Amino acid sequence: MRTVNRLALLLCGLLAGPVLAQTTVLTARRIHTMDTTQPQVQAMAFDAAGKILAVGQAQALLARYPGAKHLDVGTATVVPGLIDAHGHVEGLGLTFLTVDLVGSANKQEIVGRLRAFEKTLPAGAWLIGRGWDQNDWPDKAFPAAADLDAAFPERPVWLYRIDGHAGWANTAAMRAIQRDLAGNWQPDGGIIRRDAAGRPSGVLIDNAMDLMEAVRPPMDEATAERALVLGMQAAVEHGLTGVHDAGIPLEELRRYQRLADQGQVPLRIYAMADGNKAALQFLCRNGLYRHPSGRLQMRAVKLYADGALGSRGAAMLEDYSDDHGNRGLMVMSAEELAVAADKAHRCGVQVATHAIGDRGNRMALDAYAKVLGRDVDSDHRWRIEHAQILSPDDVPRLAKLHVIASMQPTHATSDMPWAQDRVGPQRIVGAYAWRQVRDAGTHLALGSDFPIESVDPRLGLYAAVTRSDAQGLPAGGWYPDEKLTAFEALRGFTLEAAYAGFGEHEVGSLEAGKRADFVVLAEDPLKVPDAALRSLTIQATYVDGKPVFEASR
């Protein structure tokens, strides 16, 4: 017997050795699993393929996997990989390839940044920038083509507003549009801003931007691909292991597919088809898409109810408080929304609708209720992106219709200097109302809407918990009723974001059978003072058990 046992042990050792050698046991001061049955452990074992085998006590797991590689992160804290439920990867990458105008204090500074960047451009190339926000300027007024024409009389200049819902062109760029922009006509769902004489001022809002998009030189394929790569790289450097890319055309899915085929997708991309267009048609024809690597899928469509609050494009039930007679605009009509949602419904595609104003949100909920009909209690997981300003009557409707709220904490703290001017003291109570949304029983996924806000999820955690700006103002937070705890904020960026992408069985928490997607932080985000959430130290980001980012020591 003894000999047999020894032989068995030997054989086991020989057989198990190579397998076990590829198993990793991670030990840390603390692992926040986000699994409510076992929220804090000290160790996690995962196999060579990146599947979590077990979580638990360090000594127990080290004993259970004796041949495993031991990855000891010392006093660090491990949390599930962060998932940004709403970002724009190509847009983020383009910020590295176009002029970054974010934080410009005035128009003179913008001209200065444009001049500096222009030196890198060949003759005739368009000068593209993004990130301006008139609310940051002394006069808070929309800019005009004239502000650019002196410096750029010949070269076309086209500058996206920070929220992507407006563009600012110089006269050279406007000349590229064949149609006369003067007069009093407006495109559906868009605004051409004009002076008193009816001449276009240079700012095009929402669907009016399409007039320029149709004529500006298309981005070449190499630049587009480079933007994706740079965007994904920036994401993993900030602890993101997943991004819900909120609206991409079919050609961008193809671009992602090529990168995934080459193993160049370092995190999980949950792409949404952009509008009722070719990508949705592709899903309806071919079925929901998932790349074999597990790093890329498309099973959702992004629709658009209205514009944005900053440019007063958000559709409101009543007039803007600071612009009487203006109730914003619908980007898709109620009928278009319903038609697109119905198509998605028939194809088994999840719908995620951009809705900012209280009218935009109500239209989206109305469309969902109508289209889903008896299927409202099914596992549809339809979402509203932003859900920024909700009528008190609509807060409970989200829960009743099982609609997920996909919200961006940093929007609140970016918008708080002027949001109440736009909507007044009554409607502001339903704005950025995370606590109310949660309390109504709604799933709350968090994101950033990068590059409109920073890709850095630490800023989102901080904003969710403090409702204060980087300086900690207002002290104690803006409408502090709506604060989340650090745990709730972290859950919004992990398990809840996973749920919003049908991914909670695979990611979002650290449990046996799930993927080893995690972040190593020097500090414990559930224990640090609130103010320290902004400056958590991201030591490493792992996807499928492999590091995709490691901070240099």
Instruction: State yes or no: residue 400 binds its own copies (CB under 8 A).
Output: no
Total binding residues toward its own copies, as defined by CB under 8 A = 29
Q: How far is the CB of 310 from its own copies (least distance, A)?
A: 24
Cα 356 from Cα 452, distance rounded (Å): 14
Does 527 participate in binding its own copies (rule CB under 8 A)? yes
Tell the smallest beta-carbon distance from residue 532 to its own copies (Å).
10
Contacts of 40-46 with C-beta under 8 Å, sequence gap 24+, read 44/78, 44/510, 44/516, 44/518, 46/516, 46/545
Using CB under 8 A, which of the segments 80-88, 287-295, 365-373, 472-480 binds its own copies? 472-480
Q: Determine how β-strand 268-274 pairs with β-strand 240-248.
A: parallel
481 binds its own copies (CB under 8 A): yes
| Residue 435 sits in the site that holds its own copies (CB under 8 A) | yes
DSSP string, 385-417: EE--B--TTTHHHHHHTTPEEEE-HHHHHHHTT
Smaller CB separation from its own copies, 524 or 544: 524
Q: Does 39 bind its own copies (CB under 8 A)?
A: yes
| 476 lines the binding site for its own copies (CB under 8 A) | yes
CA distances from 72 to 27, 352, 363 (A): 5, 40, 51
Shortest spacing between CB 229 and its own copies, in angstroms? 36
535 binds its own copies (CB under 8 A): no
Q: Is 276 helix (H, G, I), strand (E, B) or coil?
A: coil
Nearest approach in angstroms of CB 129 to its own copies is 39
> Quick check: 392 binds its own copies (CB under 8 A)?
yes
Determine the interface stretch with its own copies among 87-95, 186-194, 480-488, 508-516 (rule: CB under 8 A).
480-488
Q: Which x/- pattern, by CB under 8 A, does the window 440-459 give for its own copies?
A: -x------------------
Residue with Cβ nearer its own copies (38 or 264): 38
Q: What's the rounded Cα separation, in Å, for the pair 408 and 261? A: 31
* For its own copies, the closer CB: 175 or 527: 527
32 is a contact residue toward its own copies (CB under 8 A): yes
CB of 409 to its own copies, least distance (A): 14
Residues 6+ apart with CB under 8 A from 254: none
Complete DSSP assignment for 194-210? E-TTS-EEEEEEETTHH
486 binds its own copies per the rule CB under 8 A:
yes
Nearest distance from C-beta of residue 477 to its own copies, angstroms: 7
| Contacting its own copies within 228-267 (CB under 8 A) | none
Residue-by-residue DSSP string for 307-341: --TTTT-S--SS-BTTBTT----BSS-HHHHHHHH
Among 3, 37, 184, 262, which residue sits at the site for its own copies (rule: CB under 8 A)?
37
C-alpha separations of 335 from 332, 350, 436 in Å: 8, 18, 29
Judged by CB, which is closer to its own copies: 288, or 528? 528
Per-residue HEC secondary structure of 425-436 comes to: HHHHHHECCHHH
> Which stretch of DSSP H or E encloses residue 180?
none
Interface with its own copies, residue 22, by CB under 8 A: no
Give the whole-angstrom CA distance, residue 317 versus residue 361: 10
CB of 387 to its own copies, least distance (A): 16
3-state secondary structure of 358: helix
Q: Which helix (H) or strand (E) holds 360?
A: helix 358-372
Nearest approach in angstroms of CB 358 to its own copies is 13
Selected from 487, 502, 511, 547, the binder of its own copies by CB under 8 A is: 487
Nearer to its own copies, 50 or 424 (CB): 424
- Torsion over CA of 523, 527, 528 and 529, rounded to 10 degrees? 170
Tell me the residue length of the chain: 553
Q: Does 65 bind its own copies (CB under 8 A)?
A: no
The kind and range of the H/E element at 169 are strand 166-169
Residue 485 CB, nearest distance to its own copies (Å)?
A: 5
**What's the min distance (Å) between Cβ of 480 and its own copies?**
4
Asked if 201 interacts with its own copies (CB under 8 A), we say: no
Q: Please report how close the Cβ of residue 524 comes to its own copies at its closest, in angstroms.
A: 6
CA distance 252 to 254: 5
Q: Which residues pair with 40 in a beta bridge?
A: 32
| Among the listed residues 225, 336, 358, 482, the single contact to its own copies using CB under 8 A | 482
User: Is 40 among the residues that bind its own copies (CB under 8 A)?
Assistant: yes
DSSP track, 38-98: S-EEEEEEE-TTSBEEEEE-HHHHHHHSTTSEEEE-TT-EEEEPEEEEEE-HHHHHHHTTS
> From the CB of 57, what's the least distance to its own copies, in Å?
8
Q: Which of 210, 469, 488, 511 binds its own copies (CB under 8 A)?
A: 488
What are the residues binding its own copies (CB under 8 A)? Answer: 32, 36-40, 392, 426, 429, 435-436, 441, 475-477, 479-488, 524, 526-528
